[in-house]
């Protein structure tokens, strides 16, 4: 424990919009557990972000609880990290309002995700959708995060968080840590099982194209057997000429730790049927403990609520320091 001061801080959030896929897990969530040992880590269910799109209240409530249970199920330890629900910590919304007033309209207008989401939700282009990168900046800056793991689609949002922090620091002195992107060492980009040119996505209309983190073993095996390959019948890594097989090799490699060369050796002379079965079994074993943990947590809602409260208390205590410092610099009278 004595080294915690020396550890760099890292923050990651997950939206409660349905169960993440195998791609989300192998590409990001699997690394979160490893980060706990190297960093002073905070993990949040970003439920405030989720309402830029209309949610059905009962379903939304269920998804928030399930997302929190899933964070614990991948092995995150509330003893080592802060694991909390964003809406339980009022400082996020408070700092977001303040930072809105230090962010230029033009900067927000240039956000590519706003443009994309406006097209897909043309009937509900709300102010929250426009300004949610500012809430994301507040999430990061409240915990003085040194690093934020980001995918390609979030790079622009981290850039704006850095810009806002630098602008505020320029006006008031050193208030916020300027966050850096954290690029994990490992973590493959997992593609759709039915169309390897597309990223695996839970919003895909074809349910055979993705594996959910909570899929049952028989469902996983069935989806894996119907995965797209090619007519060559040789297990060889070539993303351009053999995208389907290469995708399965990436999945198998992430689950077993074997490199592509070893996988090619192991399956030399064997057909795709054998290979798909092996990949399916590896995925089943990778996800089994998560599914079992998840079922255990969901059975004990009282314990889950208790853990949520503890996480929120710690997150509030830490983030309140940053909020107070920010408000004091601006000239607010603190109670």
What does 147-216 look like in DSSP terms, one character per residue?
A: EEE--GGGHHHHHHHHHHHHHHHHHHSS-S---EEE--SS---PBPSS-TTSB--TT-S-GGG--BTT--
202 is catalytic: yes
CB 259 within 8 A of CB 253: yes
Q: How many CB atoms lie within 10 A of CB 7?
A: 13
CB 148 within 8 A of CB 138: no
Residue in 202, 208, 310, 325 annotated catalytic: 202
199 is catalytic: yes
Q: What distance in Å separates the CA atoms of residue 96 and residue 136, rounded to the nearest whole number? A: 8
270 is catalytic: no
CB 148 within 8 A of CB 179: yes
Which residue reads 């400082």 in tokens?
91
Residue in 9, 117, 223, 276 annotated catalytic: 117
What value, to the nearest 5°, has the Cα angle with vertex 133 and ends 119 and 59? 70
What does 43-84 look like in DSSP terms, one character per residue?
A: EEE-HHHHTTS---HHHHHHHHHHHHHHHHHTT--TTTSEEE
Residue in 9, 30, 199, 223 annotated catalytic: 199
Q: What distance in Å separates the CA atoms of residue 219 and residue 82, rounded to the nearest whole number? A: 33
Which residue reads 């996988």 in tokens?
263
Which residues are part of the catalytic machinery?
A: 117, 199, 202
């Amino acid at each position: 424990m004595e080294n915690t001061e020396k550890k760099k801080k890292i923050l990651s959030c997950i939206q409660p919009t349905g169960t993440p896929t195998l791609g989300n897990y192998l590409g990001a969530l699997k690394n979160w557990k490893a980060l706990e040992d190297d960093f002073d880590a905070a993990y949040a269910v970003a439920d405030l972000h989720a309402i830029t799109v209309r949610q059905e209240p009962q379903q939304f409530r269920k998804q928030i609880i399930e997302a929190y249970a899933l964070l614990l199920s991948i092995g995150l330890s509330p003893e080592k990290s802060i694991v909390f629900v964003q809406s339980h910590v009022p400082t996020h919304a408070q700092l977001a309002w303040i930072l809105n007033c230090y962010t230029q309209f033009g900067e927000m207008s240039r956000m590519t995700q706003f443009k994309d989401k406006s097209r897909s939700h043309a009937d509900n282009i709300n102010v929250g959708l426009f300004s949610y990168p500012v809430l994301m900046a507040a999430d990061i800056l409240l915990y003085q995060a040194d690093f934020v793991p980001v995918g390609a689609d979030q790079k622009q949002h981290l850039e704006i968080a850095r810009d806002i922090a630098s602008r505020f620091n320029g006006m008031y002195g050193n208030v916020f840590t300027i966050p850096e992107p954290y690029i994990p060492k490992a973590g493959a980009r997992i593609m759709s099982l039915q169309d390897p040119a597309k990223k695996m996505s839970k919003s895909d209309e074809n349910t055979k194209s993705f594996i959910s983190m909570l899929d049952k073993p028989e469902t996983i095996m069935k989806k894996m057997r119907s995965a797209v390959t090619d007519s060559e019948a040789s297990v060889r890594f070539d993303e351009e000429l053999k995208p389907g097989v290469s995708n399965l090799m990436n999945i198998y490699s992430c689950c077993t730790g074997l490199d592509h060369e070893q996988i090619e050796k192991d399956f030399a002379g064997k057909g795709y049927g054998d290979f798909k079965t092996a990949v399916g079994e590896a995925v089943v074993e990778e996800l089994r403990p998560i599914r079992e943990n998840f079922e255990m947590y969901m059975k004990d809602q009282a314990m889950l609520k208790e853990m949520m409260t503890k996480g929120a208390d710690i997150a509030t205590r830490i983030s309140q320091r940053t909020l107070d410092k920010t408000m004091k610099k601006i000239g607010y009278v603190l109670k």
